[in-house]
Amino acid sequence: MSSGSGKEVRGGQAGRPAEQRLLIDSIIRRAAEATPEAPAACVGTRENGYSTLSYAELERDANRIAAVLRDRLGISLGDRVLGWADTSIEVLPLFVALAKIGAVFAPLNARLGSAEAAQIAQLAQAKLLIVDSPRAADAPTVAASAGISEWALLPVDAEGGALEASLNRVFLDASQLPDPPDTIQEPALKETDPHVIFFTSGSTGRPKGVVLSHRANWLRGFQGVFRDDPERTVCMFPLFHMAAFTLAIAAWQTRGEITYTESSAEALLAACEDRKANRLYGLPLVWKRIVEADIDAYDLSTLSQLDSGTSATPIELLEAMRERFPGAKIRIYYGSTEVGSATALANTDILRKPGSVGIPSNNVDVRLAEDGEILVRSPYLMDGYFDDIEATKAASLDGWFRMGDMGTLDDEGYMSIVGRKKEILRTGGESVSPSEVEAVLRDFPDLSEATIVGLPDPEWGDVLCAAIVPVEGTQPPTLKAIREHCEGRLAGFKKPRRIAILERLPRTAATSQVQRTLLVEEILTRGLATE
């Protein structure tokens, strides 16, 4: 579009060449040009205070960090960079900076211990590891294990400067870095190039790296062009989780704000009031906490969209959400790191289709395989699993992604999830491979057999239960002893939360595999699970 003077107007700035590529950094750059003072990101709590960045500040800090990564550390197009840091405002400029130079961001779960982090880091074949100060002591071990010669620090607390001096590390403090001569952009970067790698568990217990392109992430976050007000989202997910970044991109597409806070009901509701949020996303277990909280103590008049996901949400919870937030709309999403959003259940269908996860999302095709497995095809799909051709092939069927879930379609085309084909368990929004936990339990004393199953729970999705067969004549272990055995070897969300003592585990006659479905039924019907 041209004005009468012949000047081109694009994204709030005249005279720049048209940008046709769907690149993540262009979302921030354009917003910084059009609405520089608008808030882009916020991290914190009411009690401890919030840290914020405007679009101009996010773009500035990202350019400064990108220049250091490129010019001092030699990070360039296609290089993989591991991030091992907890949620902080400093992670977001790093995320944008890596997108600017075409490097691939691979965040590690900050809850992992050094041994677990090192195992996953090895898969990325990365050139650089970036950590925050709480993980600095373990950074040399993780970097060495992954074959990485260089690591750097994010300034997330007052100890950062001292650590920089004592460890002689590159310190990525954007407030102390100079501005580069020009805006950082990688001319050779294509929208189909990798943007991020998110690590997820596989059915064999070996973690897999989900590769997502700039184009896929841009499209996953696209909110349309006819929106009256910017999206102001409060997010419960930590900044190493796929959903945390997808929700950020979605808000930034509208030149809105993403706020990260703790997952307690009080922190989330306070953030909604303080940041005047209009969207809140929570897992079912979080929504249960929220509807049971003192909602009337907060001004939530701006909150108009309530989202939940990962699985069907109990009808009782939906009714409670509708009662507590009568003026808000509710949506349920079903998807995964590999596919993004596969289906969605709209507000008008929430109570009409209880237990359903809705119809295919925009530009998504969904169908059932002959055995009932859910298959998904869309432009949001991952490129594949990093350096794992066999796993990528196993996850696809003629261009369709195998969800690993079993589903049914009603006569109106609404999807319901009826079971899992894969063994991966979902607990509190996190994926856990039973075989990984079972491997840790193998050296627990006086156990003849041990396996991990998921017990259905309306809050957690799956509650991890250790099904134990003690050696004959020995005292059965306690859940406390099992969890203490896992300490330092497994993240907290991977530790069993229930224990069931059995005389034997049901197994198939031909292959001697544990029949997990029968085992769960036995535990539930006999009331064997204890805390």
pLDDT of residue 17: 46
In a domain, 199, yes or no: no
In a domain, 419, yes or no: no
**Cα–Cα distance measured from residue 35 to residue 454, given in angstroms and rounded to the nearest whole number:** 47
pLDDT of residue 361: 94
| CB proximity list for 363: less than 8 A, separation 6 or greater | 219, 378, 379, 380
In a domain, 432, yes or no: yes
Tokens of 201: 């568990």
In a domain, 69, yes or no: yes
In a domain, 381, yes or no: no
b (16+ CB within 10 A) / e for 472-501: eeeeebebeebbebbeebbbebbbbbbbbe
pLDDT of residue 200: 82
Provide the phi-psi class of 399: left if phi over 0, else alpha when psi is between -120 and 50, else beta. left
Q: How many domains does the chain have?
A: 2
Tokens of 402: 């195998």
In a domain, 200, yes or no: no
**Cα separation of the two ends of the chain:** 65
pLDDT of residue 180: 95
The enclosing domain of 477 has a CATH number of 3.30.300.30
Quickly count: other Cβ atoms within 10 Å of residue 338's Cβ. 27
The enclosing domain of 170 has a CATH number of 3.40.50.12780
Question: Exposed, middle or buried by CB within 10 Å (0-12, 13-18, 19+), for 236?
Answer: buried
Which residues form the domain of 161? 22-40+50-189
- pTM, 2 dp: 0.82
Provide the phi-psi class of 153: left if phi over 0, else alpha when psi is between -120 and 50, else beta. beta
pLDDT of residue 19: 55
SS3 204: coil
**Cα–Cα distance measured from residue 58 to residue 54, given in angstroms and rounded to the nearest whole number:** 6
pLDDT of residue 311: 59
| CB proximity list for 365: less than 8 A, separation 6 or greater | 376, 377, 378, 400
- What is the secondary structure of 123-169 as a DSSP string? HH--SEEEEEGGGTTTHHHHHHHTT---EEEE--STTHHHHHHHHT-
Last residue of a domain, one of 154, 189, 224: 189
pLDDT of residue 459: 80
- Alpha-carbon distances, residue 393 vs 60, 366, 384, 398 (angstroms): 41, 19, 9, 10
Last residue of a domain, one of 159, 189, 219: 189
What φ, ψ does residue 523 adopt, rounded to 5°? -60, -45
pLDDT of residue 516: 78
In a domain, 232, yes or no: no
Q: Which residues, listed in sequence order, are joined to residue 84 by a DSSP beta bridge?
A: 108, 131
Task: Encode pLDDT of 13-31 as tens digits.
Answer: 444 444 578 999 999 999 9
SS3 251: helix
Q: Which residues of the chain have pLDDT under 70?
A: 1-19, 157-168, 201-205, 224-226, 310-312, 419-420, 422, 508-513
Last residue of a domain, one of 147, 163, 189: 189
Tokens of 379: 């432009």
Nearest of 37, 110, 78, 113 to residue 211 by alpha carbon:
78
Task: Encode pLDDT of 329-376 as tens digits.
Answer: 999 999 999 999 999 999 999 989 887 899 999 999 999 999 889 999
| CB proximity list for 12: less than 8 A, separation 6 or greater | 30, 33, 34, 35
In a domain, 108, yes or no: yes
